[in-house]
Structure formats: structure tokens, C-alpha cells
Amino acid sequence: MSSQFQLYLESIRVATLKRQEFYVSTNAKEKPPLDLMAKRVAEKKRQGQQEEEFAPVPVLEGIRTLYLEHKHVLLVGRPGSGKSTALDQLLIEEVTRSLEDSSLPIPVLVQLRSDQPILELIRKALRRNRLRCDEMELDNLLFEGKLLLLLDGVNEIPRWELHQELQEFREDNPNVTMVFTTRDLAVGGDLGIEKQLEMQPLTPAQLREFVGQWFPERTEEFLNQLSDRLKKLGETPLLLAMLCDVFQRTGKIPENLGLVFQEFTHYYERNLKEGVRIESDRAWWKPVLQQLAWVMMQGEKPTEFRVAIRYEEAVGAIAQFLDGRRPYAEDFARKCLRDLQKHHLIQPGTNKEEVEFRHQLIQEYYVAECLLKQLPTLSDDEIQQNYLNYLNKTEPLALMLALVEEEALALRVVRLALEVDWVLGARLAGEAKLEFQKKTVGLVDALEVPNWLKVLLLDEEARSDFAIDSPLQLVDHFDSKVRCRAAEALDKIGSETEISASLQLVEDSDSNKYEGLKEFVLDKIESETEIANLLRMLSVAAVTLGKTRSEAAIPSLLQLVKHSDPTVRCIATEALGEIGSETVIPTLLQLVEDCDLHVRRSAISVLGEIGSETVISTLLQLVEDSDVRESILSALGKLGNETAIFTLLQLMEDSEFDVLDSATVALCRIAQKHTNMLAQRLPQLLTLIPTHADVATGGYVLEVILAIQENCKYYNHEIYQAYLEAQKADRQTPQNNDRSFTTIYNIDRLGILNTGDTTIQGDQIG
């Protein structure tokens, strides 16, 4: 290993250890850290096959197991579940291993939240740790597979164009080991990564151990105050630490996450960390943080949400807000930012010229406070078009609902949300204050939707004790699939009320999921023993020719597709697909009628990869052939044009599981590559929901809807179009390319804050 790599690794080790020290509170610093666990996400089995079950494993062990075999791994987890902490731990361990073994890849931790291309982020990550690397040198490192890329925060990528660029980068570098993290698949997507791990919640034993480190003498008192709903929060390390912090100071646990943040941030705003000397005025910190969070929420598009902002832009935005309220506004803005960084509420960004909140949840909470102040003055259209309709604003809205003090206002927001999207409305209904939830959840229960969908909304989204009645009513439903869904719903709600109802299903022999259809035969046809070596040579030759991706290899492959053995024909067909030339389309169209099923499927798949519209008519003629239907629909998904979308949407009206299953896979694939084209079909898909009376078929339609929303970043296409029309009418001046800070929210002074000094022991939360 060269000396420059040695310096780089040593620099990382020092920086990472300092960062880890910051994230551990003094109260728990001398205690052994919790063993965070992750569970491999079962790959969705199509055609009704039963999903494979995996046991939880230590998160680093799980990551290594997957990337050693599959190269690209996605780690999914709730906010504060420990994803970034896991990457930090993995980084320091891999740095140590690389220092001992120079043959191992060089680990690089990349924060994806910055508004820059992925290659630039990698170069800057190397440069920050004393390793200069120009474009050619980086390309060589990638080509040779010498990097281990730890890419944190897919959901924090500020622009969709950068998200697409990252996906292409991943696909262009299949031999580079990459570990990605994302907060939520519905926000960041999975980048097409098949191998996924999900952070597991803390077990009751881990929760008790964690609380015991904070206050051993009050552990039982703390646990007794945790409601069923807050126990879910307590399963996340970051949020559990906040609960402990609030309880230690007040002796009480607030009823919801919004109120936890309210108490937590108020304490930070009123009190100073030990040894901190301030230049500004603490009375202004809260409005400054609100303003900063609000400006960062304004991306170039309403679907974007920045988690980092250029330092000078932050100064300008705060100064503009303070203008007329404070003398020397810009100077005071700089002082506020310096104080808040020392106070551990904000920090320098990935790039030193940027600033960010210590955690995205803290940023979202301050956005929620801004929304709460504006809410009474906004019209219904403004609430829907500017806020409710965007996935990136769902978390701030959820936090805001927990702070709403007026029942009528909470009901208004939930009603408007249900008009935007049923899933969104159900989520927000369960976030309102407990005394409002009987009515907010009642709005969800009153929806005229199929029973299976109502159970899903009340169970997976609302998660309120007031949602129990509907699943209880469905326990005795005549459809076994609905009964099964009801049992899952009761289990997730987590209240003692459902126990007796769940026991009724123990003896229900018909509550299992429907039996799958017959699996297609996937094994290759075995060759005769005496020609095995020859066939192996031919197969290797076909694969090798395909990997050259040169049209010069086409004549030889065209000879191999005529071979008498179907295995050779099949491999040669796939090799033609690697080359991807439209000149082979006539041959492939002939192979669609091959006598061997595997060859036919391979030919259809390759036609989809080549992506020529000239093949659509042939493919559509074969849709009724059940033997190749799955391959046909997959090929249509790869083509992703209007004709393919029209055909697939027609098939979504079918009630056959195999048709719906394959069409769903194809449409979800189109949603990733051709988002805008498919987003226009959201209204059409919504009309299909009532036509599927049970979860077994209706769930496929819902899966496509969620995939489209995930990729276009909004819920309702018609409301988004209304927003665009409103913007055209209201636009006065074009937006500057450098994101000028013209969106300023005038936050009133919130009264005199307590400015008495109080010592905060230990490092602050990150």
C-alpha cells in the first residue's frame, strides 16, 4: 500500500473516533454499546411462493455477509435506528483491516446529502482525509474494484437528477463494493438493489438495558410510563435517548413524538452546554432555527428537501429574516450560526462550506413548528398543493399534527390529507393528539373502500388504539385472506384489547396465505454425458463473446443460436442481449417461437432489453400464452413506452394472480425509469382499487401506486398539476439558478425565553 493511502486511512481513523465520541452521551459513555441488529429483507417471491425467513444478526455481520457475495447492499431503517452509526463502525473496522492487509479495498464514507454529483462527493471524501485523486485516478480505482463505498442517506439526496445519477453509477460499477443506507424506501427508493437489510428495533431487554444506563433507580418508573405507541419510539436508539433525556429532567414522558421534540428542543433553546460562551441572543435561537429549517425545505422543486445548505446562503436567509428586527442583521446572523454550532443543534456539513442540522429529525421538527404557525391562515388548496401532496413533507406534517391543540384544525388536516391520498390520511390520523384520535381515525374508518384496504390503513398507517374495532369486526370475515390480514393488523397495533380476538385465529386452518401457482421449471436441460465438455466450451464461448459487447461477435453468436442443444441456444441468446444491437432483432423474433421454453423466454427478455418499439406488436400477440406471459410482461416493463404502459394497465384489471403479479413487477420497473410517464396514470390506477375486493388481488394495484408515488415524490397527480398551474399564474420572476434565499417566513417573536444558565452534562445528541 502506498504511503498516501496509509495517511488517508490514519486520517479516517482519527476523525471517525472523534465523531463517535460526540454521539455517545456521558451517562452511557462508560457502558458497553448496544448490539444493533439487522435482518435480511426476504426477496419478494412472485407467483404466490412463500417468502424466505431470516433471523436477525449483528448489523455489521449482516452487511459483510451480503456485500462479500453480492457487492451491493442496501441498509434500511427508521430515523434514528442506527444506520449512520453502523456505517461509522463499519468504516473504522474496515480502516483497521486495510491497514493490516493492503489487498483489501479502501473504505470511503460518502454523505449523499450534498448537492453535488456522486464522483465529486467521492473525490471530496478522499481529499478531506489527505488523499488527492483526480478523475482518471478515481476511475481506475473504481474499474479495479479497489474501493469500498459506504454511501449514507439515499433518502437525503436533494435532487431527483442526482438520485438518477447515483442509480446509473451503481449500475455502471457492478464490481465495486457499495453499502447504501436509506431512511425509508418510500422516500429514497431502493436504487434497484436486491440485497437489503433492515435495522431491527431494540428488544425489550435492550430497551431496559439502555434505560438502566441513564437512571438505574428509575428504570421501572420510566418503563411503566411508556404507552404502547411510545414503545415503538423506544425501539429506536436516537428517539429512546431523547425520551430518557426528557424523563430525566421532567419525570414525565410526553404522549407523542411531536411533544417529545418540543420538550427536548425547548430545553436546548433555554439552556447552555457547560463551557459554551455565546455571542448572540438565545431569545433568537428558536426563530432562527425555524427560519433555517424552513428555507432548507425549499428545494428547486417542491418534491425536494435539502438537509444541507451553503453557509453563506444560510447567513443571507437569516439576515433577510432579521432585517428590521435586529441592527447589523448579517453580523448577528453569523453570530447565531456560530453559537448554534457550538451548542450542538447544527453543525458543519459534509463540505465545510455547508451547514446542516445535527439530525434530519430535528430539522423536520422545526419545519413542523413553522407549519403549525402558518396552518390557520392557509386555504385548503394551499395546504394540499404546497404541503400534503409531497412525500418529503410527510414527516414534518406528522410532527406538526402532534402539536395541534384544536380538534377542528386536526380534523381539517386529516380530511384534506385523505382527499390527497388514503395512506397519507391514515398516517396523519394516527399522529394527532390522543384525545382527537377517536374522530381523526373515525374519518379513515368511514372511507368507502374495500375491507382489505381499510384494514391496511387502520393497521399499518393509523396504528391507533381507536383503530381496533375494524380489525376485530373482520376476524370473522368469510374470506380467509381478509381474516389473515386482520390478524396481522391486530398484532401490529400492540394493544391488549386484541389478544382474545387473535386467539380465535390460532385454530383457523384456512387463514394461511393462498397457495401459489405451479412454479416454472428453472433448471437448465441436462446435456448428454459424452458431449458435456463440448457444450461447456460452447457455452463459455457464447458468454465470452457476449461480454465483449462488440458487434463483431454477432455472426458467431448467430451460429450458436442454431445449435441443437437448447442450453447453448439459450446462453447464446442472452449473449446477444449483452451486445444489444437492433440488427439481431429478426433472429430473436424467430427464437420467440423456439421449441424450448427457456430459449423462448430468453429471446423475449433480450428483446425487452434492446428496447426497440418494432418488437411490441410481436410481444403483444404472445400475452395470452401463459408459458411466456411473465417474460412478455417483464419485457414490456423494460421497454417502458406508452404502448407497453397501456397494455400493462389493462392487465391490472385482471383477477388472475400470475397476470397481476407479472404486470405489477413490470409497472414498478417502469416507475423507476419513466416516472413522469407513469405518474399521469395514478388517477386510472386509483379507479381500479374498488374493482378488487380482496387483498390478494387489490394489493397488487396498491403496490404499483406506492411505487409510482415513491419515484415521482408526490401522492396525487391531479393536485400536483393544479399546483403547477397555480405556479404559472403566480410566478413573477424566475428562480435564480443558485437558489437565492427569497422564500422567507416571517416568524413572530415568541415571547421572552428563559435565559438563565443551566449546565447540560455530557455531549449533546447528534
Task: Render pLDDT for 423-439 as a digit per residue (tens, 0 to 9).
Answer: 999 999 989 998 898 89
For residue 215, what are the CA distances in angstroms to 234, 333, 648?
15, 38, 58
Which helix H or strand E contains 150, and what residues bound it?
strand 147-152
Nearest Cα to 741, choosing from 339, 333, 335? 333
Give the least confident one: 39-43, 69-73, 209-213, 650-654: 39-43
User: Is 414's pLDDT higher than 80?
Assistant: yes
Q: Where are the alpha helices (DSSP H) in 101-227?
A: 118-128, 135-143, 160-172, 185-188, 204-214, 219-225
Which phi and psi (to 5°) does residue 75 adopt?
-105, 120
> Residue 563 is placed in which grid cell?
445449435
pLDDT band, residue 420 (cuts 50/70/90): very high
Distance, in Å, from the CA atom of 710 to the CA atom of 627, rounded to the nearest integer, reads 32
Handedness of CA 580, 581, 582, 586 (dihedral sign): negative
User: Is 29's pLDDT higher than 50?
Assistant: no
Q: What are 611-621's pLDDT values in tens digits? A: 666 676 667 66
In this prediction, residue 273 carries a pLDDT of 64
Segment 89-115 mean pLDDT: 84
* Beta strands, E only, 340-439: 346-348, 354-357
> Residue 535 is placed in which grid cell?
457444450
DSSP annotation string for 14-73: HHHHHHHHHHS-HHHHTSPPP--EEEEPPPPPSTTPPPPP---EEHHHHHHHHHHHHSEE
Say if strands 309-310 and 354-357 run parallel, antiparallel, or are unpaired.
antiparallel
In this prediction, residue 36 carries a pLDDT of 84
In this prediction, residue 763 carries a pLDDT of 33
Which phi and psi (to 5°) does residue 181 adopt?
-125, 150
In this prediction, residue 542 carries a pLDDT of 52
User: Is 463's pLDDT higher than 70?
Assistant: no
In this prediction, residue 697 carries a pLDDT of 79
pLDDT band, residue 95 (cuts 50/70/90): confident
**Burial classification of residue 387, based on how many CB atoms lie within 10 Å of its CB (0-12 exposed, 13-18 middle, 19 or more buried):** buried
pLDDT band, residue 554 (cuts 50/70/90): low
In this prediction, residue 741 carries a pLDDT of 38
For residue 763, what are the CA distances in angstroms to 8, 212, 345?
27, 19, 12
pLDDT band, residue 47 (cuts 50/70/90): very low
pLDDT band, residue 599 (cuts 50/70/90): confident
Give the least confident one: 120-129, 181-190, 341-350, 433-442: 181-190
Three-state DSSP state, 272: strand
In this prediction, residue 614 carries a pLDDT of 64
Cβ 642 vs Cβ 609: under 8 Å: no
Say which residue, 271 or 242, is predicted with more confidence: 242
Give the least confident one: 294-298, 348-352, 389-393, 429-433: 348-352
pLDDT band, residue 33 (cuts 50/70/90): low
Three-state DSSP state, 705: helix
In this prediction, residue 698 carries a pLDDT of 83
In this prediction, residue 516 carries a pLDDT of 27
Which phi and psi (to 5°) does residue 549 adopt?
55, 30
Nearest Cα to 150, choosing from 186, 132, 184, 126? 126
In this prediction, residue 185 carries a pLDDT of 61
In this prediction, residue 434 carries a pLDDT of 87
Per the listing, cell 390527497 goes with 420
In this prediction, residue 416 carries a pLDDT of 96
In this prediction, residue 25 carries a pLDDT of 37
In this prediction, residue 511 carries a pLDDT of 35
Distance, in Å, from the CA atom of 489 to the CA atom of 484, rounded to the nearest integer, reads 9
Which helix H or strand E contains 532, and what residues bound it?
helix 532-548
Which phi and psi (to 5°) does residue 196 adopt?
-130, 145
In this prediction, residue 496 carries a pLDDT of 43
Q: What are 105-114's pLDDT values in tens digits? A: 888 899 888 8
> Residue 37 is placed in which grid cell?
441488529
Q: What are 299-332's pLDDT values in tens digits? A: 778 888 888 888 999 999 999 999 888 889 999 9
The model's pTM = 0.71
Say which residue, 147 or 597, is predicted with more confidence: 147
Say if strands 106-111 and 346-348 run parallel, antiparallel, or are unpaired.
unpaired
Nearest Cα to 628, choosing from 642, 607, 645? 607
In this prediction, residue 27 carries a pLDDT of 35
Q: Residue 643: which residues within 8 A CB-CB, separation 6 or more?
A: 613, 616, 620
In this prediction, residue 461 carries a pLDDT of 66
> Residue 620 is placed in which grid cell?
403483444
Cβ 447 vs Cβ 479: under 8 Å: no
* Beta strands, E only, 493-532: none
User: Is 410's pLDDT higher than 90?
Assistant: yes
> Residue 173 is placed in which grid cell?
460499477
User: Is 752's pLDDT higher than 70?
Assistant: no
> Residue 388 is placed in which grid cell?
400534503
> Residue 165 is placed in which grid cell?
445519477
Task: Tell me what percent of the residues of the chain surpass a pLDDT of 90.
Answer: 16
Nearest Cα to 31, choosing from 649, 581, 762? 762
- From first CA to last CA, the distance across the chain in angstroms is 34
In this prediction, residue 522 carries a pLDDT of 23
For residue 685, what are the CA distances in angstroms to 212, 303, 382, 643, 644?
50, 21, 25, 16, 15
Segment 734-757 mean pLDDT: 40
pLDDT band, residue 483 (cuts 50/70/90): low
In this prediction, residue 617 carries a pLDDT of 67
In this prediction, residue 557 carries a pLDDT of 67
Q: What are 243-265's pLDDT values in tens digits? A: 888 888 888 888 888 888 888 88
> Residue 109 is placed in which grid cell?
464514507
The mean pLDDT value of the chain amounts to: 75
| Angular region, 133: left φ>0, alpha ψ -120 to 50, beta rest | beta
> Residue 154 is placed in which grid cell?
439515499
In this prediction, residue 31 carries a pLDDT of 43
Nearest Cα to 12, choosing from 114, 143, 126? 126
Q: What are 138-175's pLDDT values in tens digits? A: 888 898 888 999 999 888 888 878 888 898 899 889 88
Of the segments 124-133, 551-560, 707-716, which one has the largest average pLDDT value?
A: 707-716
Q: What are 353-387's pLDDT values in tens digits? A: 888 888 888 899 999 999 999 999 999 999 999 99
Distance, in Å, from the CA atom of 285 to the CA atom of 7, rounded to the nearest integer, reads 40
User: Is 341's pLDDT higher than 70?
Assistant: yes
Segment 222-241 mean pLDDT: 77
In this prediction, residue 385 carries a pLDDT of 92
> Residue 261 is placed in which grid cell?
421534540
User: Is 1's pLDDT higher than 80?
Assistant: no
